[in-house]
Structure 1
């Protein structure tokens, strides 16, 4: 019998096309992999509400990794032990104030299943709310009363470098700061003690799958640890150079069915 694999899927720039859809070929390959007994899990920086659609479309029955590993839960099993890490409240408020001083277009603070926004507009409102209203909008350092699970920042284009240089000098012992370098530059800030890799290891252990039988697909900074950890770390053709360098191999781009190309060959779908 063929070995069972755990297949981890980043969303943006990996599983999803630019139109935010899953291509028919990639969906077919993943469904065939499921039929063969392989385990599929989404691993994304997005909140669950903004990834639920794809979880349901692929008819998954597994835990899901959100906020780059700060949240792991099983949407279909209330008894599955949930992981929900957070960034210390005092530091979060300090970071939010610093960002506001530098100049940002928008910020989003996630606290478990609740979120706050500087303003309900732009990329965050279009792609990360899924029609859910924020608990509040406005001055986030005053609104936030609990330790956040994650903080997402969309800087003004002319402030990207200033924000990058400033935040690199602070909080790195507490947080893991990763940039999403797509058409809209987004900084994702999560607790330092968790990554997609730590979350993936937890799921692999739960399913009794060895590290060598983990296949992980990714393209951006927040996929680095996961790609490095997996027995088969696969960089998308559109991945940043840092991900390609640490990956075991490079497949086609997300627009050219990179996931399907790899799985069809390796799993003989």
Structure 2
């Protein structure tokens, strides 16, 4: 405490008090005490008024910012709702566009094959464990789909129905060794059987087997389904011959075929229910 009385701060305070006292004594003799007192009070209170004004302004600005934040939050919520609505409309538009494309393809196929009775379907799931790209569609027995029905697109044959539920069906693709369909090479007219092959399936290809050792099937020929056995309709495009080889047994030839349709890419198909 004693040290405080020796500090410069104490001396300044003492000088200010002395000055104030001098002003008050002078004002008492001159009759202007009230004016001096008012000025002194104003002098002392001005810094506090400034601080008060600053604090009031800060709080006012703070509440203005809160109000603005609430308005921005509400506007953001409304914008998010509009975005969700637009996304839903875009999804509907994409679905309608896909459906229209499917029906357009169905109409073209119907013109080429007027005896076909078909059902349009969308791919709803794929078997991630399948090496042959089997998939599930959103149509089943309730729509008249049955086992062994051919599955096609405008570009060509995709596979056959291998499992049926009331509102779904599973498609085994032409890359699967379980897939077998009579076929003919268009130029040479040599008959054979298209069967999936494990090794070729990894390359997205299949095989036309049981060609005669004298077969004249050549690279570039188209391979079409035949109605041999009456199981599948004729003249469904399967693919294109890439090369012809002799089987290791030497009894027959086979052709490596590039399918017209990539089963891993299809999103919509037609199921031929009757023909």
Structure with greater Cα Rg = 2
TM bucket normalised to smaller: under 0.3
TM score, norm. by length of structure 1: 0.22
More strand by share: 2
TM score, norm. by length of structure 2: 0.21
